[in-house]
Amino acid sequence: MTSSLFIQGQGDDLLVAAQNVLDSLIPYEREIQTNDDTWMLARIQPYCTLDIKIDGVVLTFTDITSRIKTQADLCIYAIAFESQEGIFITDASGVILKVNQAFTKITGYSAEEAIGQTPRLLKSGSQDATFYAALWESLISTGVWHGEIYNQCKNGEVFPHLLTITAVKGDNGVPFHYVASLVDITQQKEASEQIEQLAFYDPLTHLPNRRLLKDRLHQALASSARKKQQGALLFIDLDNFKTLNDTLGHDIGDLLLQQVAQRLLSSVREEDTVGRLGGDEFVVMLEDLSENPEEAAVHAEIAGKNILVTLNKPYLLAGRDYRCTSSIGATLFYDHTMTEDDLLKHVDIAMYQAKHLGRNTLCFFDQAMHSVLTERAALEANLRLALEKNQFRLYYQMQTTHGNQIVGAEMLIRWQHPEHGLILPIDFILLAEETGLILPIGQWELEMACAQLKTWEKHPQTQQLQLAVNVSARQLHQADFVGQIKTILKKYAIEPNRLKLELTEGIVLNDITGTIAKMQALKSIGVRLSLDDFGTGFSSLSYLTQLPLDQLKIDQSFVRNINVKHSDALIVQTIIGMASNLGLEVIAEGVETEVQRAFLEKHGCCLYQGYLFSMPVPLEAFEQLLR
């Protein structure tokens, strides 16, 4: 028994097998992978002589590499066919030949039910003829089609599927099979719809949110130009919504917002857009109003007034009756002459104008008003930089006695604007107060005043001078205002009674007790307190007696009229008498004439400030006057 055993490492096994074949006479077969990646079938059979005697074994090798590979491929195909994707294969005429298990799972149709049918089995009616025409067109020209399709499953329900169809073509290029795969994308679709809902809709009212609104507005602008039609934007803000929220709670507030959303939707045409910007702010976009702006404005006004009426009707909020008015700002739009943001700004301004006019009203955007506001915004931006850029100047206006002795000065601020020149406080102090900028400005002024007092302290001729500094209500109401004053006084180590704080009657408006306590604290440090513009506020005499004041400053409006209006002269006299009764010093501001001064002196006011003595001037000029 011989054989050339060239298959490395298999020799011993085959020898044993050959011996077994000899003993048992049962042929032996074995697939062997050779080291060069080919497969051989080794076959050992008994060798029989002509006289039928067993005379050994025959060992043959057959190359079976391609068969083995085909088997492996088929195995892969079979696994792939039973994937998560539903697969069906049709013949050239579309008759289903084979489906996998996932197909059954997705569509509900078993292999028996599907085979022999055509894909019309799944037709939902959701796609029209043009859809199928495009599908076939793509299949014929490119051999594939891929897209979303709504299929009706066996239970009658319609689901979105991602479908890929591939034509299997013969050598002649003619398809003989179509292989189609289906993926159920219901969940993805739901998720993406949910994401879209979150991204573009307000969760409370389900109305488009600011983002979607801006997008729609953008489209509306383009379409207005195309159709040559004016559109209008209405900005609706509920009056006193905050009060409702604060008193009855947010849940009730939410109920109102939901009902308002419903009413808005029902009071406009179907093609109009209603959205919620946030809070109690809603927007209505009306399109295709008219070619003519005046006519469009009339339509917008009618729609706006209709909304006012609708929103005014009583609401029922968790069993409570509630009534609420609203304010509407409106503007027309046409073409991309303005951006969406500009338009939203315009309606916002107009809405504020409506609020200003007493609420429950509609107001169109007005360019003149817009200019004022734009200017103010620019001023505010500049004002923020003014302190940093050292653009504020302090002027001094002397305060004198009837004996012409200078007792000190009032410090008055000016803004040296690089373009607009010297700006008077009347044009920026209010804005500084509203924006809170008065806090750093005021702090800076107090520092400057104390530094100046320190300088004056060093010279006998200026040692006695007092400096009056105007303090806004907002400054005084800071929690640590007293602490700030203490720190500054300590820093410059000055005599506190040289510093006089001028407060106005407005400071007591909100919190009388708190203000009095604060003033007392200031007073106990030794700082002087003067009540500025006295007589112009709504002072009640009862609290006046409680304020720890040192001085009353008669407002210049009364001083000016001393010789003009008898009643004003009388007021001046009364204030002087009152100050004297309360043991307070009294000073008159705005003294311009000798007649006024004489009147004041005659009635007992011996301190004056006004152009008669000096205009407010820069420090150097003031020091010149001292000499």
Note the residues at the interface with ligand C2E (CB under 6 A). Answer: 397, 411-413, 424-426, 429, 442, 445, 470, 472, 502, 532-533, 556, 589-592, 609-611, 616
Across 344-364, b (16+ Cβ under 10 Å) vs e yields bbbbbbbbbbbbeeeebbbbb
501, β-bridge pairs: 469, 529
Shortest approach of ligand C2E to residue 570 CB, angstroms? 21
Shortest approach of Mg ion to residue 470 CB, angstroms? 4
Shortest approach of Mg ion to residue 486 CB, angstroms? 23
Does 568 bind Mg ion (CB under 5 A)? Our answer is no
Q: d(Cα 341, Cα 277) in Å, to the nearest integer? A: 12
Does 504 bind Mg ion (CB under 5 A)? Our answer is no
* Residue at token pair 């609290």: 543
Q: d(Cα 574, Cα 152) in Å, to the nearest integer? A: 94
**Angle made by CA atoms 168, 169, 172, in degrees to the nearest 5:** 170
Size of the site for Mg ion (CB under 5 A): 4
3-state helix, strand, coil in the chain (%, to 5): 45, 25, 25
Q: Interacting stretch for Mg ion, rule CB under 5 A, among 9-17, 138-146, 251-259, 469-477?
A: 469-477
CB nearer Mg ion, residue 406 or residue 469? 469
CB nearer ligand C2E, residue 209 or residue 399? 399
- Count of all residues that appear for the chain in the document: 627
Binding partner of 412, given ligand C2E, Mg ion, none, CB within 5-8 angstroms per partner class: ligand C2E
Does 532 bind Mg ion (CB under 5 A)? Our answer is yes
Longest dimension (CA), the chain: 166
Shortest approach of Mg ion to residue 610 CB, angstroms? 11
Q: Interacting stretch for Mg ion, rule CB under 5 A, among 126-134, 221-229, 250-258, 463-471?
A: 463-471
3-state DSSP call for residue 612?
A: coil
Q: What is the DSSP letter of 153?
A: -
Q: Which of 259, 327, 397, 470 binds Mg ion (CB under 5 A)?
A: 470
Q: Interacting stretch for Mg ion, rule CB under 5 A, among 175-183, 232-240, 464-472, 564-572?
A: 464-472
- The Cβ of residue 47 has, within 10 Å, a number of other Cβ atoms equal to 15
Shortest approach of ligand C2E to residue 193 CB, angstroms? 57
CB nearer ligand C2E, residue 149 or residue 529? 529
Task: Please report, as a single letter, which amino acid is at residue 413.
Answer: I
Binding partner of 424, given Mg ion, ligand C2E, none, CB within 5-8 angstroms per partner class: ligand C2E
CB nearer Mg ion, residue 14 or residue 503? 503
Shortest approach of ligand C2E to residue 553 CB, angstroms? 7
Q: d(Cα 591, Cα 334) in Å, to the nearest integer? A: 57
Binding partner of 550, given ligand C2E, Mg ion, none, CB within 5-8 angstroms per partner class: none
CB nearer Mg ion, residue 301 or residue 585? 585
Q: Which of 184, 280, 287, 533 binds Mg ion (CB under 5 A)?
A: 533
Q: What is the DSSP letter of 335?
A: G
Q: What is the DSSP letter of 173?
A: S
Task: Please report, as a single letter, which amino acid is at residue 238.
Answer: L
Residue (of 443, 428, 499, 452) closest to 476 by Cα position: 443
Q: d(Cα 15, Cα 167) in Å, to the nearest integer? A: 53
Residues that bind Mg ion (CB under 5 A): 470, 502, 532-533
